[in-house]
């Protein structure tokens, strides 16, 4: 049953979105609304109450937080039976649709019971060697750890030796050590105009000058890189060339080869942050494969297996260049966590890691299909294999207004500011589709944002 529910919001004396939740609670308590009743769509209620869509959406989100209603993708919004409002997430019943955080760039979490059980069993098995794992270990991991790392890298086409390989406690520690070796305070590093915020933070921390290079939908411009080399003599170029965070651009092979030619001509090191190395089923060859003698290759596991697994594999251009990197890493971090390393080794060697990656690929593809069904074509860039989206805002919209609109509806959105190396940031934003959010939550959040972009940005103002 569907009702033409039009509550009187004035009686509550609260902001409209809170008044909607209060009215729902009161009508459910007094049985004017019964469990299973289908409520008006958010658009219909907004028209009936002469409110904007975002206000009504925010009211429904607040009611969902209170366990009063639930959204069912493709069906609508329904009143919840109070007896079931606190049921555990693993119980049966229609999936809830609540707030979603689009800010943190995490892979989708595997939701296949057999795979989750397999992952947990491997973690439990480590307890048999817990005493050893809680002790200091030799730097760089055991022979078994390095064997697993070499296997993981070979799956990306990166063939190397143990002498060039370092196991690090996360990609940030690897990047920090590389930057500290190739440059000194005051030196220049090149990066894409829109780039990963972490490299901006590390460059600032180390006193390095970060210079931006123009880019297009295929990534960095090799000719601009060559011009920068003659003008400022950079020590290195940092690139996130596969499913770039945040623009989703992937450098094709021809452009990679053009960048390599420039780097070789001007003796510039290449720092390759291959965070999404295993997500693409058929990626272009890495810089480490095409130009191993000038590439510092970093393969973190956070974007492939999980952000909490703080581990990365660093491949130096040579065994000689690996020695000072090892010293820097040892001084700054002592060692990678033996527990994290042992877990990663187990997962890689028994095939669990490959199964997780396949699950991430499939779920990312499903979520990208949701994006394509919600956001207008031409308003965003994405990769079918990725789990983030780069939105170019329509004329009249600002990134701050868009982020504000998202917050008002309980959605986390990141504007372009933290990604821009220099100059005025573009009116754009990044949406992340992974983490614990469900497909239902993502679909709901995208519906809210898509509707907001259809209207005037003046409606996004939340200040009085």
pLDDT in tens, 375-417: 988 899 999 999 999 999 998 899 988 988 888 777 889 999 9
CATH code: domain of residue 130: 3.40.640.10
Confidence band of 74 (pLDDT split at 50, 70, 90): low
Residues 366 and 345 in one domain: no
Domain extent at residue 261: 114-350
Contact present, 214 and 233 (Cβ < 8 Å): no
pLDDT in tens, 155-208: 999 999 999 999 999 999 999 999 999 999 999 999 999 999 999 999 999 999
Contact present, 27 and 63 (Cβ < 8 Å): no
Helix or strand run (H / E) with residue 269: strand 269-273
Residues 36 and 165 in one domain: no
* The pLDDT value given to residue 225: 98
Does the pLDDT of residue 352 top 90, yes or no?
A: yes
Contact present, 387 and 364 (Cβ < 8 Å): yes
Does the pLDDT of residue 374 top 50, yes or no?
A: yes
Q: Is residue 101 part of a domain?
A: no
Q: Count each helix (H run) and each strand (E run) in the chain, helices first.
A: 16, 17
Residues 342 and 374 in one domain: no
> How far, in Å, are 182, 222, 246, 259, 377 from residue 255 at the CA level?
23, 7, 19, 6, 26
Residues 298 and 345 in one domain: yes
Q: Report the C-alpha gap between 132 and 130 in whole angstroms.
A: 5
* The pLDDT value given to residue 91: 37
Residues 342 and 363 in one domain: no
Residues 67 and 134 in one domain: no
Give the orientation angle of helix 399-408 with respect to helix 53-65, to 10 degrees: 40
Confidence band of 127 (pLDDT split at 50, 70, 90): confident
Residues 139 and 208 in one domain: yes
Contact present, 428 and 390 (Cβ < 8 Å): yes
CATH code: domain of residue 57: 1.10.10.10
Q: Is residue 10 part of a domain?
A: no
CATH code: domain of residue 399: 3.90.1150.10
Q: Which residues of 161-184 are buried (b: 16+ CB within 10 A; e: fewer)?
A: eeebbbbbbbbbbbbbbbbbbbbe
Residues 71 and 150 in one domain: no
Phi-psi category of 4—alpha, beta or left, where left has phi over 0 and alpha has psi -120 to 50?
beta
Q: Is residue 9 part of a domain?
A: no
Q: Is residue 306 part of a domain?
A: yes
Residues 183 and 73 in one domain: no
Q: How many domains does the chain have?
A: 3
> How far, in Å, are 134, 165, 171, 254 from residue 236 at the CA level?
37, 20, 17, 20
* The pLDDT value given to residue 142: 84
Q: Which residues of 33-51 are buried (b: 16+ CB within 10 A; e: fewer)?
A: beeebebbebeebbeebeb
* Alpha-helix residue ranges (DSSP H) falling in 240-351: 253-265, 287-290, 319-333, 338-350
- Rounded to a whole number of angstroms, the distance between the first and last alpha carbons of the chain is 39
* The pLDDT value given to residue 141: 78
> How far, in Å, are 119, 246, 248, 267, 293 from residue 219 at the CA level?
36, 11, 9, 21, 22
DSSP single-letter state for residue 292: G
Q: Report the C-alpha gap between 429 and 214 in whole angstroms.
A: 18
Neighbours of 277 (CB within 10 A): 28
Does the pLDDT of residue 260 top 60, yes or no?
A: yes
Contact present, 240 and 195 (Cβ < 8 Å): yes
Tell me if the pTM is above 0.85. no
DSSP single-letter state for residue 112: -
Residues 155 and 23 in one domain: no
Q: Report the C-alpha gap between 101 and 443 in whole angstroms.
A: 12
Q: Report the C-alpha gap between 42 and 28 in whole angstroms.
A: 18
Does the pLDDT of residue 250 top 90, yes or no?
A: yes
Does the pLDDT of residue 462 top 70, yes or no?
A: no
Residue ending a domain, choose from 350, 366, 393: 350
Average pLDDT, integer, range 322-344: 92
Residue 95 burial by Cβ neighbours in a 10 Å radius (0-12, 13-18, 19+): middle
Query: Collapsing DSSP states into helix, strand and coil, what is residue 109?
Result: coil
Residues 312 and 374 in one domain: no
Average pLDDT, integer, range 44-50: 89
Residues 166 and 283 in one domain: yes
Q: Is residue 91 part of a domain?
A: no
Tokens of 167: 């196991």
Residue ending a domain, choose from 350, 378, 394: 350
Return the higher-pLDDT residue of 218 and 464: 218
Contact present, 108 and 388 (Cβ < 8 Å): no
Q: Is residue 104 part of a domain?
A: no
Q: Is residue 335 part of a domain?
A: yes
Looking at the DSSP assignment, which residues form a beta bridge with residue 79? Answer: 69
Q: Is residue 135 part of a domain?
A: yes
Residue ending a domain, choose from 24, 54, 79: 79
Does the pLDDT of residue 135 top 90, yes or no?
A: no
């Amino acid at each position: 049953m569907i009702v033409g529910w039009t509550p009187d919001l004035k009686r509550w004396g609260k902001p409209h979105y809170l008044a909607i939740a209060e009215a729902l609670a009161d009508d459910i308590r007094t049985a004017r609304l019964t469990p299973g009743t289908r409520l008006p769509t958010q658009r219909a209620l907004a028209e009936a109450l002469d409110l904007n869509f975002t206000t009504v959406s925010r009211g429904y989100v607040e009611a969902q937080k209170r366990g009063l209603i639930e959204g069912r993708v493709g069906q609508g919004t329904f009143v919840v039976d109070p007896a079931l409002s606190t049921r555990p997430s693993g119980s049966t019943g229609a999936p809830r649709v609540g707030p979603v955080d689009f800010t943190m760039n995490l892979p989708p979490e595997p939701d296949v019971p057999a795979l989750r059980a397999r992952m947990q069993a491997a973690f439990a098995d480590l307890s048999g060697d817990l005493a050893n794992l809680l002790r200091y270990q030799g730097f760089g991991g055991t022979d078994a750890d390095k064997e697993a790392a070499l296997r993981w890298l070979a799956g990306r086409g990166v063939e190397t030796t143990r002498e060039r390989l370092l196991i690090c406690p996360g990609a940030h520690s690897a990047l920090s050590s590389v930057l500290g070796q190739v440059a000194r305070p005051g030196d220049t590093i090149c990066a894409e105009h829109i780039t990963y915020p972490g490299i901006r933070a590390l460059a600032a921390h180390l006193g390095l000058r970060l210079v931006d290079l123009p880019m297009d939908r295929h990534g960095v411009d090799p000719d601009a890189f060559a011009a920068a080399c003659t003008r400022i003599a950079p020590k290195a170029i940092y690139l996130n060339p596969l499913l770039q965070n945040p623009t989703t651009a992937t450098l094709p092979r021809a452009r990679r080869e053009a960048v390599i030619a420039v780097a070789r001509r001007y003796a510039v090191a290449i720092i390759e942050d291959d965070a999404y190395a295993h997500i693409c089923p058929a990626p272009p060859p890495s810089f480490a494969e095409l130009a191993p003698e000038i590439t510092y290759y970093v393969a973190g596991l956070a974007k492939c297996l999980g952000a909490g697994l703080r581990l990365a594999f660093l491949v130096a251009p040579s065994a000689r260049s690996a020695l000072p990197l090892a010293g820097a890493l040892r001084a700054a971090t002592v060692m990678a966590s033996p527990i994290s390393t042992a877990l990663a080794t187990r997962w890689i060697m028994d095939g669990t890691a490959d199964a997780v990656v396949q699950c991430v690929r499939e779920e990312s593809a499903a979520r990208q299909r949701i994006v394509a069904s919600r956001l207008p074509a031409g308003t965003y860039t994405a990769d079918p294999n990725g789990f983030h989206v780069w939105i170019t805002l329509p004329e009249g919209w600002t990134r701050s207004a868009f982020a504000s609109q998202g917050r008002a509806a309980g959605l986390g959105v990141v504007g372009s500011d933290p990604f821009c190396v220099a100059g005025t940031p573009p009116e754009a934003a990044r949406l992340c589709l992974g983490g614990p959010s469900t497909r239902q939550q993502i679909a709901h959040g995208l519906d809210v944002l898509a509707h907001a972009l259809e209207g005037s940005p003046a409606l996004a103002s939340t200040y009085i």
